[in-house]
Amino acid sequence: MSDGPAPPHNIQAEQSIIGSIISDNNTLGVIADLGLSSIDFFDPLHAAVFEEIIRKTSLGEAVSVVTLSASFPTMQAGGMSISAYLESCRNMPVTYVEAIEHAKIIKQFSTHRAIVSVARALENNPFPPDESLAAAWSKIDAIRMGVMGRRKHRISGTIEEATQETLDYITQVRSGSVLGGIKTGLSLFDNLTGGLQRGELVVFGGRPGIGKSLLAVSMSRQIAKNGVGVGIFSLEMPEKDIGRRMLADHAYDLDWRNPIAYTDVFKPGMDQRTHQRLVEAQREIRSLPTELDFSSNLTVAEIGAKVRWMAGKIPLGVIVIDYLKFVRATKTYRGQRVYEIGEITAALKGLAKDLNICVILLVQLNRETEKRDEKRPRLSDVRESGDIEADADVVGLLYRESYYLLQEGLDKGAEMSTKIAAAQNLFEIYVAKQRMGPTGWLKFHCCMASSSVRDLDFNGNAPTHEEFR
């Protein structure tokens, strides 16, 4: 071996990854997309330990200092017993975001060492230069394609490949072997858009009080009922608020004629029948593939790390972020909110593509709506908010006529009261942009009290819209 400098590596990054997995086995799922393997570790001990971690997890076994030490009973590390060394690694805790970055460092150094190895071999190669260079380029290409192969999706290809893949997907959809879009439970929306599409950023915007969170929670529950995993990032509402909205929403399916107001759930004096309905609702929804996160002021990188962890627990297809205001930008454009928003939405679009999920982002529309006589939202109400419109694949603008009628007041006579009564259960979504399809206004039934949005004529207990009037 040469007495020159050691090949590029980072021992601390290797120790932190091993220690993080020992401390929290879910870390392995978080870094899974990076394709980290034992050959990427510079230290032979770390490589052996990581290989054992992979073996144990593939068998469904827990990974801990005790279980790993038992696999290497005679091994020493720097004059320490293996158990003491692994314990020292475990005491180097890092966040999921840091774990991803450390895993990337290990992969980068591994690639660097592979390229250096090719260069050194070329330097000592006795064959003619043209043959040596050809062999070296072949190895470099293999390294490069190995790095690219760790990406989830192909990033280049021919027109033949792209169109054939499209035809294959159409055939699978027609045969029923794969589902088309992810169904939201709102038939008109699904018919217009084909459902939520993986790899896309879907934005729902509305003024305060219109029903952004109502739509997000109700839609999430209905998506999960169809077996698609949903991750909800409630950056504003606490856990109990999400919980009572979901219970009231599901209880609405059980008995729509007697809705339970989510605002009444925590009030004393609840009767036994109402309590039993909530117990029954919880029994039915507790196993839905849904993960909730109530952290505040997350960056997109932190959201991405948590999403990778969620994907290791449920068949994740959709994440909901409620809402844009509480997503923290990096320091690149500090104080320039328009550019910060553009940075966030572009990163969320990238996250949707990289993880093959649909990202639903809730946004608050600007005040221009309030200044107009016609209160229906327009796409221009989003355009002034950074690059939201440009980055989104679908933009849905939310509107409830009753919200504005109530602001005008009930003291304007019987005609106004009639208009309010007629509109109180109407919830409209204006699909103002759809990159791959038509736009248009869609009407739905809503019950604000129970945080529910349904088709105008929904099945099950099957009320028609006229029955609500």
CATH of residue 212's domain is: 3.40.50.300
Residues with pLDDT less than 50, the chain = 1-2, 148-155, 459-469
pLDDT tens across 376-396, in order? 998 888 865 557 888 999 999
What DSSP assignment string belongs to 171-225? HHHHHTSS-SSBP-S-HHHHHHH-SB-TT-EEEEEE-TTSSHHHHHHHHHHHHHH
| Overall domain count for the chain | 2
- Give the pair of three-digit tokens for residue 207: 């003024």
Choose one of 134, 149, 164: the last residue of a domain: 149
Q: How many CB atoms lie within 10 A of CB 275?
A: 12
Whether 120 and 234 map to the same domain: the answer is no
Choose one of 128, 149, 170: the last residue of a domain: 149
CA-nearest of 194, 200, 201 to 363 is 201
User: According to the model, what pLDDT value does residue 461 have?
Assistant: 41
Is there a domain that residue 157 lies in? no
CA of 302: how far to CAs of 15, 97, 163, 299, 333, in Å?
22, 6, 35, 5, 18
User: According to the model, what pLDDT value does residue 383 have?
Assistant: 65
AA letter at 25:
N
CA of 436: how far to CAs of 347, 370, 430, in Å?
21, 30, 16
Supply the CATH number for residue 135's domain.
1.10.860.10
Choose one of 102, 129, 149: the last residue of a domain: 149
Query: Residue 34 belongs to what domain range?
Result: 11-149
Is there a domain that residue 231 lies in? yes
- Give the pair of three-digit tokens for residue 278: 């909530």
CB 232 within 8 A of CB 322: yes
Whether 136 and 197 map to the same domain: the answer is no
User: According to the model, what pLDDT value does residue 155 have?
Assistant: 45
Residue 200 neighbours by CB under 8 Å, 6+ apart: 352, 358, 359, 393, 394, 435
Whether 76 and 196 map to the same domain: the answer is no
Strands (E), 349-467: 358-364, 394-399, 426-434, 440-447, 452-454
User: According to the model, what pLDDT value does residue 183 have?
Assistant: 93
**Buried b vs exposed e over 185-211: b needs ≥16 C-beta within 10 Å?**
bbbbbbebbbbbbbbbbbbbbbbeebb
AA letter at 383:
R
Whether 238 and 361 map to the same domain: the answer is yes
User: According to the model, what pLDDT value does residue 129 have?
Assistant: 59
Number of H helices, E strands in the chain: 19, 11
User: According to the model, what pLDDT value does residue 148 have?
Assistant: 43
Whether 114 and 249 map to the same domain: the answer is no
d(CA 239, CA 220) in angstroms, rounded, equals: 15
